[in-house]
Amino acid sequence: MTLFWVLGLLLIRLKELHLKMEKSLASGITFLILIVVDFTTSWCGPCRVMAPYLAELAKKLPSVTFLKVGVDELQSVAADWVVEAMPTFMFLKDGKIVDKVVGWRKEELQQTITKHLSDSTSAA
């Protein structure tokens, strides 16, 4: 598990993860990873409420990588990812967006993480 505050380094970090996946696949190792990207702003009340919950999830789920994108600083990244409301959570596996949760929905967020983690373990 890793909890990052990303300011301009999101694309570099995702590229690094993509390269790790390619290397793992090339060597015959199954590389299953779930990345949760949290698009947030400093002025968003629900985002502030979710922050401690995400920190707790990050501690409990070491197999999940959590990335946080400050939309105020990275508006172009949010636009590229078609983020229209905060908080927005994008779920990535194998370098692709596989799911999305919009808004302050703790239960839906947890269920989506659980769903994709169980998909990973059943695929292994």
**Catalytic residue among 35, 36, 37, 47, which?**
47
Residue 87 in tokens: 């908080």
Residue 47 annotated to the active site: yes
Contact 35, 99 (CB under 8 A): no
Residue 97 annotated to the active site: no
Residue 11 in tokens: 């694309």
**Catalytic residue among 3, 44, 51, 61, which?**
44
Alpha carbons 7 and 70: distance in angstroms, whole number: 7
Catalytic sites, residue numbers = 44, 47
